[in-house]
Every structure is written in C-alpha cells, then in structure tokens.
Structure 1
C-alpha cells in the first residue's frame, strides 16, 4: 500500500505535465504546402516526448525544449485527405489534411472584401459554392506593436461551402478557383488582409529601420496606456457628437417622427435621388437630413418584394419602411441592401424614409448605383423624386486615430505567426491608403517584399500584386494624378525578382473604391501564378512599353508582351497624352500600325514625354491578343529602347 506522501507526489508529478498543444494553423481541414519539407510544431513542457504520425505511420519525434517542440514532415505530393496524430501526455488528432498550394492573400479592403459584398454580381457563384478542396484560414485582426506573435488568439481552416462562402475573400476565392479548376490541386488561402491598412502596417521592425519616422510611430504605440487613452478619448469624442446630434435631430424628437407614415411632408423640398447635397464653394454640411417617398404597390408587387436597395450613401444612414426600421449602415463604403420583413409592405401606399448622417462635410446618394425595391430579378425603381428636409446641423466630427493601421502592428499581430508555415507565394492588393505618400511607396513596398521573403526563409517565392483600379470621375483634360503615381510606383516594384502585377485599370468603378469585379482580378492573378509559381508557359502580362521613337512630330511606341498582337479598342478616346518641352500635356491621336502605336497631336511639336492611362480614372484602350490590359506609364521620349 502506497503511503499518502508518495501518492501525493505521484499526483503532483502527473499534474505538472501540461498537455501538448499546437498553434491554430495546425488544425482540421488545413492545407500544407506540397513538395517541400514542412515543420510541424507546438508547445510542450521541457523534456516531454512528442511523437507525430501521418496516417498512423511515425514521421518524427521531438523532445520539448524551452516550451516548444518541432519535427520535420518530409515533402509530400499533392494528396489527401490525411490524418496527423500528435502523441505525448495527451493525444491530438488533426483530420482532413491536404497537401496542395498555400497562398497568403494580404493587403487592404479590396483583398479583404468578402463574397457577401459582391454577391449581387455573382449569384450563380454563390449558389454553386461547394469547393471542399479550397480552404480559407481567416487571420484574427489583432494588432501588436511590441513583438512578433507566435500564434493567433483564434482561427480555423474552413472548406468553402454554402455555409461560409459569404466570409471568403472574393479576390482570393476567384484566384483559388482558377488554379483549382486548372490542375485540381487543393488550395489553402491565408486571409491576411485589413481594410484601410497602409503598407507600413505590414512591415516588420527590421524592415522599418530604413524609415525612421514610420519606425518611431510604431514604437510609440508600444505604450498600452497611450493606446487606452487615445481609444477612450476617441470613443468619448464620438459619443458626445452623436449624443448631441440625436438631441438636435428634429426627425427623431418631433411628436410625429419623420419616419412615420402619418407625417405630413407636403411642405418639404424636392430632391432627386441619386444626387448630392448642393453646397456653395467652401461650404460644408455636417448633421442630419431626412428623405421620404411614397410608393404605391400592387398585391403582386408586395408579394414579390423582399429587398430595399439604396445604392451607396455618404456617410451613414437608417432606412425605414412604413415606420419600421429595416436597416442601417454606419459608414459610406458598403452597398445598402436591406431585407424587408414579411408583412411589412402592403397593397396601396407605402412610405419610405431615410435618415442620412453627414460627418465629413459632404453628403450624397452616389450615382450609378442601384436604387430599387423588390427582388434581384424583378424590382421597382425608387430613384427620382423624393422629399427632403434638414433635421440638424452640427460642427464637423473630428477625425479619430486608427491605431490598427500604425506601422508594424499588423505584421507583428497578423503576419508573423504565418512565417512558420511554408507557402507557395503571396497575392497582394493594397495601395489605396498610400496614394498620398506615393513618393516612397516603391521603396517601402520593395523593402516589405524582401523582408517577408527573409522571414519565411524560402528564397524568392512568387509575390503577385494587383495594381490599383481606376477610380473617381474622368477628367476632360490630362492632369497629374496621385493615383497614377502610385500605380507607377507599383510598376517599379516589378524590379524585384519573381514578382508580377495584375493590371486592373479597366475594371474599376468611378464611384466606388471597392469595385465589385473581383472575378477578373482573381483570374489575372491566377494567370501570373501559373507562370511564376507553376512554371507554365502562359501569357500573363499585358503590353508594356518597350521603345519610343520620334518621327517628325509623331511618336511611334513599341511594346513587349503583346502575345499575338496589340489590340487598340478605341482610337477616339483619351488613353494617350503627350507633352512638349513646356510640360503641358494634350490628348494624343492614336493609331495601331503593325503592332505599334503612332501618336500625334496638332498642338504638340517635338514631344518630349508620353503618358498612357495616366489619371485617377483614365481611358485604357490598349490590350494584347489575350485581352490583358496594357500597363499605365509616364515616360520620357527616347530614340533608344527603354
């Protein structure tokens, strides 16, 4: 019989052995990179023995050291499903594991944008969402300025199904679908994107050494008290502003609220939706204005109406039908799509009311967006005449401090834990937040690429990025453009080895920084991946200017990457501009001659500079035979090849 003291010692000894654990990335449904040695790692007490099996066969043994353990899984061909067993004091079983290609999808909102935001454009793709061998791991968006993180607070691998397609990155999904349909290899997507993030936020402390101002800004936010103080101050500031706004809003405090069907709005002004609030030069508007419209519906229309579409609104809104709130959006970018509860609409007259909050000095219902009531297949247009009345005027709402976008925070919190897992490559869509600092974007972006490759230790893995899409209103005259400068900086980054750029200058939207055509972006990125990552002989680049020759007062432009020839889709648009010695640009007449472009302008003698697709939202008429758009450029005239 054991003495009590001995029994106690045995119990204490057993309790002192902690369970072995693994990082969140190592979990059911994970995709591991094929054809490369893979580390399998985790956490254990010092001296604890850990055995790892693949499909029941031992593949490695490790002893806990400094709280960690690791084994090397020999390279595996594309295959699955497999099972990993991790056996120590406890046993962990990882099921449904595939070996395939793992891609890191990173950047800002145009990469983060989930399928639910583009569902209206791709109903068939939503309906057939059953891609069990395309899996996404969505990275928790928790920044850290102090140190690179080892693991995530949460996260899991999810095969793409009807249940979760709405949360999958649209660009990454179309990229993955194109590759999977091409070769049938499982695709793992590491969804590592955050809206609004500048490139500095994705750079490590080591990478930021070249940029002392950015580094100092990131280090400043290692102070938890500073973060708490700023966060509290911003919350209090916003709270005061909106509390005062709601007190002033006559539409809310009136005896008959302005969303009520009983309200008499006969004396209200008229307003045409879509449209902007008209302001005199230098004037701003911050506050609330209300909109109302009465529509008459038949019984059939009532039975077939389940959605209210209010386009896009600057800045925030609340929508009501017959006095009942049906939805709200707190900032300007998302599309307004609100579900209509059953039995809310009625045969005969129905009242629509929209409360719009302006906090940035302007307000509008954005043009060229859908405004209707009904279903996607059949609906009633509600654009046109509405009634409007201002309910409150406020001072501007002071801007906040977006701590999550500060330098190095996203690298440490989101990217660093991924560097332990081998990948096939990176797809990247970012740059909108750096337009105002385009002058150093090329240097920072290149530095980030170099640093990420160093951190992964896989050599020059493919890094494929999307160039900024066309955006904002077209200009009647050639102008300088920060958006064009940022695109040029992106083009310059192609000097980094094993990089490629998907040009998207033709698939943006003038009125939306988040264009919905993510399918084309994904497909163009996938073409580049087939060339860089899979080693295929495939055309993946659009025409790129290679030579500029002067012929009298004309210019003759030669291009590379033309495939079977150049395609000039229009000769009377404003794709090209040329300038003389005074630097003043004029639109150029363009003609396609023997796979070269001849440019001329009656107003320019002896041109010294030429631009193509240069502007916020320029015309872009030049393609190759594979329908890939030409790369925008701004070049000096030379008689020699570029």
Structure 2
C-alpha cells in the first residue's frame, strides 16, 4: 500500500508512482512519521513538518485547512494548521514549486504515545487470548505505527528509518504493542473517535535512555556522561578515543597486567603460541581445561580478509552477544565496547580502519563471574558492508587467559544500549516532537530495579521532558506499575521490586495529570513478561479516562491514605474503594506487615468499609506498615470495582 508519493509536475514520467522517498536537500519530503493512514490529534493546532530545498515555499493542505512555510538554511520547514474536529478520511497535500507529496486516508482523532521497555514492546499475538481474540479484528478507526529502534548520539530531526501507519486488522495487529493496543481499543470504543497509537519502545532499556541530554545534564550524576555523548556525536573518533582512555584507566586500576597486555592488541603481535578455540557459547562450556570454571578475562584474536572494495564499503564489526564486558579493536584501533551479556555487539568502523588484505580483530572479554565468552554463533560474526552483506571472520580464534577475577564490571559507555544516556530519546522521541498527542502511556522500570531512590527523580524528569518536547505542559501520563516477578516471600524481606513500585505510585500521586495502573495481580513470578496484557491495557484505559478525558471516578484502585493507632490495633484507611473494600478467597486480607526498626511481621487484615484493621499489631515498637512488599507477592485485597489495592509502605505516627 502506498505510504508516500512525490510527483514532479515538470517530469511526471521520470518518477515511479508510490515510491517511498527519504528527505534530501533538494527534494520535498514530509517527515517520516506522516504516512498514509496516519491519525492526527483533534481539537488542537496541527504541526506538519519536513524538508525541501532551502528557501523554498512549502504549502500544506489538510481537509480545508492550509498553511505555508519557508524551508530554512538546513532545508527544514514546519507549518501549523488550524485545529480540526474528529473526522476523515482526508488527503494531506504538500507542494513546493513543481513538487507535490500526497498522503491519503488521514484520520483526525486522538493519538497516544506508548513508551517503555519489553513489556510495552510485547506483541499482541503473544498475549493471553490472542489465539481467538485477534483473528476477526478489523477496525479502520483504530490505527498504529511502530517506531524503528534507533540508538542516536544526538537528537534527530526525522526518524532514521521509514515507518508505516496501519489500520488494525487481523493481519496487522499481531505485531502491535499488546498493552498499547488493548488500551487504545478500550478508549476508542468509549470515545467514538478515530484513535492512533505510536509505539516507541525497546526491551531491557533504562529510563535514562529515554530522557533528553539537557534534562539529564541537570542531574549531577549524568553531567559527565552527557558531555561524553555530546563529544561522540560531534566527533565520533574523538569521542571513541576519549571513552577508550576512560576504559583503559579502569583496567590500569584493576588489573596489574593491563599495561603489558596491551601489546596483544597490535596487529603484528605474534600470537602463534596462543591456544585456539571456535567460540560458540560460554568459555566454561568449551571443554578446554584452561577455561573450565574460569572467572575473569580472556583475550581473543582472529582475522578477516577483505578486498579493496570491501574495505572501503565496510560499515560495522558484528560480533553478536558477548558475556559480559568487552573491548574490541581492528588493526589496533579501538572500535567499541559493551557491558550487557544479551546485547549484540555491532561496532561502527571509522573510515580508514580496514585495509585490503588481512585485518586483525582483537576482543578482550571480562566474564565478571558469569559464563563468559563470545556466546553467539560463528556465522553471525563478520564485517558488515554498506550493501548489507556480511564478510565472515575467520571462525578459529586464538585465545589467552588474562586476569582472574570475580564480580568486577566496567562502567558502560554513555551510548551503550540498554543503559545509554538519551540515545533512544534522540532517535525515537525527538523526531516526533510537536506531533499532537492526547496522552502518553509508560511501561518501564524493570531495567532500573534496585535504583528506586534515583527513579524517584528520574520518572518525573522524563515526564516533564516529554511534555516540553511535545509542547504540552499538561500532557497526561498513565503509568503501568511493575508487575510481580521473582521469588515468593515466605517471610517478610526487603524487595527492590517493591521499592520501585512504591516510587512509581508516589510519583503518579504527586502529578495532577498522571494516573496509575496496578498490575501486581496479573504477573508471573517465573516470567518477567506476563501475558495478561488485556487487563493491563484496560486498566491504563481506565486511568486515561480520568486524567485525559475528565471522567468522574478514580484512576486506580484502593490506595492507603493513613495508618492510625487505635487501642491494640492498627487501622489503615483507603481511598478509591468504590462501595467498600473486599477480599477474595478468604475473610482476611493477606500481604500486610507491621514493622519495627529491626524486623517486619506478617499481619492478617480485617476489612471494615474503607479500612483494614490489623488486630493486635499496635505496639510501641511498630514504626511502619507495608502491603504487598515482595518481588512476587500474593494479594487478595480489592475495591468494589475489582481493582487491586496499590502496594505501599507508610509510616505510623509514634504512640502519644
């Protein structure tokens, strides 16, 4: 189906109808987020932008609205059309001189941006009920677009790869974000307008990756990393060299043999005395005595032979996954490093690094107490050419054991996904800036588990940052709270998952334009990707009706507002309970703890209207009460509308 068309009125025969085009300085182009079937936000001025030859007047028409702009010195233009009510389909036409770009089937309605990591990325086809529930779907008023993954060191003015808006059908919806789809489906039914959702997500990524450089720079802990990223963006070779010095300084501080072992990087180093290996997994499982049970460092060397044409057209060194920390060199020049075991290494190759003939590849790997090694398949390692072809590396590597150590790790580079700073914002959010939105749905936090105190400032920072990017100071956010995953608590204990859930709830509570969707009861203790996405999406939709559409009611379920001492008991009062609290499968509420400064004890709760009474729990030593405070707690406390109570920790006032 045609996504964009451009026609030269002077030479119609010279243009292929329906050709997808990219922005170029002398050609008219609409930004890639605008394609056939796109949904434009209703009831607010409509921003449309793109590129053309500098100084060119560009006229844009949508329905009966028109506006004109002049392409600036860099060839960028942007118009603002008057607002439209929900409706369509319309045709969007942009003209510049003798060129015209046309987009068809444009709907005006509500647009949702869905961001986060893998639980937002999780596709609808894998969700509970998808086998039968998606086979007859056909809704032309519900559309979606998925933003391609892009790790960019500086903010982009346009998406790096083309995207396509798609109407929801049985053939398309399976690859859509499940949570975003179920939320959008529910809202489209209740609002009776066209709805479009934009999925911009990347599994395993931290919130820092999705926050802009200027916003992160204000946090002292990230100022240095943001500056290093800016250097890398302005001068990749200089940035890579500076980062290499940082990494080697770490090695000098931790490995007494680091300096003499750098001789092993040189392409002309004689490694004929090293042992050989054909790495295809953990070095501990390679069946080689020197590597059996090894925790520490192994150096690897191999070669690749290229023609002159291949050396000129090489773009990246592809090494596949490496467990865990690595640095890689080509012909003695450092080309990159990584710090996450499951992430594929694809290192850009600076011009002039490779040569015709034999080239030497050196990789230093720090296992860090895990399995260790070049863990991918040999056929996935090679030099990637601009054509997309992969020139394979010699599958036989020479290796030598370095330092023995356990528990060490190298701080990742600021552009290293999944812990990068700002790079996903740069590539996957910044290019959308100005696109009108009704709301943002955010499902992320697993990658920041263990950093709850920091997340308490990072989540509101991201929310303010995106509101600024989209020019909507009151842009509503609905946040999916982390679900249950991990060990089941048989005794009260500390939990990083519980701490981060509590931070999410507190940040949302403090923001008048945010709502929370509690998911604690639909998790999977053995799978970080629970499949009950329908429930999560519908709870996000409920929150959205309140914070984005002004519906009466509560965005989330029962939430503790106070803990009082009453005789021998502690009494917890809740809000948002509907017609009263209730317990499922028992006449007591489980998951409550009364805590002293030294320890916590489970306490059964009795429901009484909008309160839960912890009988006999009021002792002078008790200072706080917790609920559902575990990685994967079992819960049975709900409001009358079947929403689970929000997990919490609250201080108890001292006894009078």
So what's the TM-score if we normalise by structure 2?
A: 0.69
Establish whether residue 577 from structure 1 lines up as the match of residue 593 from structure 2: yes
More displaced stretch, 91-100 vs 35-44: 35-44
Question: Using the alignment, how far apart are the partners of 1:111 and 1:226 within structure 2?
Answer: 36
Q: CA deviation at 1:246?
A: 9.1
Establish whether residue 204 from structure 1 lines up as the match of residue 209 from structure 2: no
Structure 1 residues 219 and 34: alpha-carbon distance in aligned structure 2, compared to 1, 3 A threshold: same
**Paired position in structure 2 for 1:157:** 165
Q: CA deviation at 1:20?
A: 1.4
Establish whether residue 178 from structure 1 lines up as the match of residue 193 from structure 2: no
Q: CA deviation at 1:65?
A: 3.0
**Paired position in structure 2 for 1:142:** 150
Establish whether residue 41 from structure 1 lines up as the match of residue 49 from structure 2: yes
Q: 1:243 is paired with a residue of what secondary structure?
A: coil
Given candidates 167, 176, 200, the residue that maps to 2:175 is 167
Q: CA deviation at 1:129?
A: 2.6
1:199-238 equivalence runs, <5 A:
199-222=207-230, 223=232, 224-225=236-237
Question: Using the alignment, how far apart are the partners of 2:606 and 2:156 within structure 1?
Answer: 54
**Paired position in structure 2 for 1:78:** 86
**Paired position in structure 2 for 1:132:** 140
**Paired position in structure 2 for 1:90:** 99
Q: CA deviation at 1:30?
A: 0.5
Establish whether residue 460 from structure 1 lines up as the match of residue 474 from structure 2: yes
**Paired position in structure 2 for 1:258:** none
Question: Using the alignment, how far apart are the partners of 2:77 and 2:214 within structure 1?
Answer: 26
Q: 1:459 is paired with a residue of what secondary structure?
A: coil
Mark the runs of 5 or more structure 1 residues left unpaired by the alignment. Answer: 1-9, 252-281, 285-314, 316-329, 334-357, 364-394
1:324-363 equivalence runs, <5 A:
361=370
Question: Using the alignment, how far apart are the partners of 2:135 and 2:342 within structure 1?
Answer: 28
**Paired position in structure 2 for 1:63:** 70
Q: CA deviation at 1:611?
A: 0.5
Aligned alpha-carbon RMSD (Å): 3.8
Q: CA deviation at 1:135?
A: 1.6
1:142-541 equivalence runs, <5 A:
142-222=150-230, 223=232, 224-225=236-237, 243=279, 245=281, 361=370, 403-404=416-417, 405-494=419-508, 495-541=510-556
Q: 1:127 is paired with a residue of what secondary structure?
A: coil
Structure 1 residues 594 and 212: alpha-carbon distance in aligned structure 2, compared to 1, 3 A threshold: closer
CA contact (8 A) 1:622 1:630 kept: yes
Structure 1 residues 128 and 549: alpha-carbon distance in aligned structure 2, compared to 1, 3 A threshold: same
Structure 1 residues 552 and 246: alpha-carbon distance in aligned structure 2, compared to 1, 3 A threshold: closer
**Paired position in structure 2 for 1:290:** none
Q: CA deviation at 1:408?
A: 0.8
CA contact (8 A) 1:200 1:214 kept: no
Establish whether residue 108 from structure 1 lines up as the match of residue 122 from structure 2: no
Question: Using the alignment, how far apart are the partners of 1:83 and 1:150 within structure 2?
Answer: 22
Q: 1:94 is paired with a residue of what secondary structure?
A: strand
Structure 1 residues 71 and 605: alpha-carbon distance in aligned structure 2, compared to 1, 3 A threshold: closer
Question: Using the alignment, how far apart are the partners of 1:331 and 1:406 within structure 2?
Answer: 15
Mark the runs of 5 or more structure 2 residues left unpaired by the alignment. Answer: 1-9, 12-23, 248-263, 266-275, 288-292, 296-322, 324-339, 344-366, 373-403
Question: Using the alignment, how far apart are the partners of 2:441 and 2:184 within structure 1?
Answer: 11
Establish whether residue 99 from structure 1 lines up as the match of residue 114 from structure 2: no
Q: 1:179 is paired with a residue of what secondary structure?
A: helix
Q: 1:201 is paired with a residue of what secondary structure?
A: helix
Aligned residues: 498
Q: 1:562 is paired with a residue of what secondary structure?
A: coil
Q: 2:560 is paired with a residue of what secondary structure?
A: strand
Question: Using the alignment, how far apart are the partners of 2:280 and 2:639 within structure 1?
Answer: 57
Question: Using the alignment, how far apart are the partners of 1:462 and 1:79 within structure 2?
Answer: 23
Question: Using the alignment, how far apart are the partners of 1:631 and 1:362 within structure 2?
Answer: 38
